[in-house]
Amino acid sequence: MGQPPMIMLGIESSCDETAAAVVAADKTILANEIASQIHIHAEHGGVVPEVAARQHLEVIDQVVRDALTKAALTMADIDGVAATGGPGLIGGVAVGTVAAKAIAAARGLPYYAVNHLEGHALSPRLCDDVAFPYLLLLVSGGHTQLLAVAAPGEYCRYGTTMDDAAGEAFDKSAKIMGLGYPGGPAIEKVAASGDGTSIALPRPLKGTAGCHFSFSGLKTALANKLQQLGGVDKAPINDLAASLQQAVADCLSDRTSNAMTRFQTDFPDQKVPTLVIAGGVAANHHIFAALTTVADKAGFRISVPPAKLCTDNAAMIAWAALERQQRPDPLSFAPRPRWPLDPDAPPPPGRGVRQ
């Protein structure tokens, strides 16, 4: 009989979700628990870092206990502990890191500090047999990135946002239109009865070379249109929402097309290359359809991890650690608010670049 697969406890706390998961090296997800703070942040129309950190601290022990209960295991069955070590809201990252280190120290287990973006980048391999290399479009409230994923630890960032993430553009625009938080699902719902061609909005960077994104101008343009059309009470919110959704879909499609061309040059022997789309914004049907069209045209197959694995979760953190079982981190690891996956990537023009 061979060795039983390693069992990893994963912890995620870098934004507004406190999550714990138990994953085996044979890809069995034994538990994937999430305590969302959305209801707490909804009244502020966005995540408040200090409130988030306090809330993580309050629930983390219980979420870890819940994950073990769900997995029908005890701490004695765990072979390693992983936690998001950054990038993210540092108060939250510190809470998860301290919890993981405490368990690792008390139990004499290996500890893994996982890059949150690496968790997203490797998550498709947990559910779909996606082989390296693949192209990843990560579109969430915190990130909008195009990455070539060659192997664990080997990433080439093709593009990132120069300002807001795509989901952030939805969230901020929804707030402006009085649609509540999180904005993406609210905008998609209202957009269903609107005309996406009715209100002219910009497509930042569309048609230019490269794979970077920019969304903050779009939000400003939407705010201006809203005022011109008489404000929240008079403006056709459904048309505005549909036009915004269309503009985001166009930008994402354009930049992803450029990335697919570059990927085929970088990895010419891929017969049917894979485009993985991950993050909350991928849940938008209109955007997903637009991306499917450009991927088909470029000859790429699309893989979308199930929502539970491609929005923020702890199973992806446990899995990223399992991809490098033999290389744990020292307990002296310090949480990193910034932690680029590809430190060599040239920064896009402009300031405030997201990692």
Helix pair angle (183-191, 237-266), 10° resolution: 110
Least distance (Å) from Zn ion to the CB of residue 117?
Answer: 7
Q: Are 241 and 194 in contact (CB under 8 A)?
A: yes
Contact pick of 110, 124, 280, 328 for ligand KG4 (by CB under 6 A): 280
Q: Is 160 left (phi over 0), alpha (psi -120 to 50) or beta?
A: beta
Q: Which of 194, 10, 34 is nearest to 116 (CA)?
A: 10
* 37-45, 167-175, 215-223, 250-258 -> range binding ligand KG4 (CB under 6 A): 167-175
Strand ranges of the sheet holding 29-36, from the earlier edge strand across to the other edge: 29-36, 17-24, 7-12, 80-86, 111-115
Contact code string over 49-88 relative to Zn ion, x by CB under 5 A: ----------------------------------------
CB of 85 within 8 A of CB of 100?
no
Q: 296-335: string of b/e by CB count within 10 Å (b at 16+)?
A: eebebebbbbeeebbbbbbbbbbbbbbbbeeebbeeebeb
Nearest-CA neighbor of 255 among 128, 348, 142, 339? 348
CB closer to Zn ion, 16 vs 312: 312
CB of 213 to ligand KG4, least distance (A): 14
118 belongs to the binding site for Zn ion (CB under 5 A) = no
Q: Is 312 in the site for Zn ion (CB under 5 A)?
A: yes
- The one of Zn ion, ligand KG4, none whose footprint includes residue 10, by CB under 5 to 8 A per kind, is none
Q: Which of 142, 204, 305, 335 binds ligand KG4 (CB under 6 A)?
A: 142
Between 185 and 337, name the residue whose CB sits nearer to ligand KG4: 185
The DSSP symbol for 17 reads E
Site membership for ligand KG4, residue 118 (CB under 6 A): no
**119 lies in the binding site for ligand KG4 (CB under 6 A):** no
Q: Could you list the residues that contact Zn ion (CB under 5 A)?
A: 312
Q: Could you list the residues that contact ligand KG4 (CB under 6 A)?
A: 15, 140-142, 167, 170-171, 182-185, 188, 279-281, 283-284, 311-312
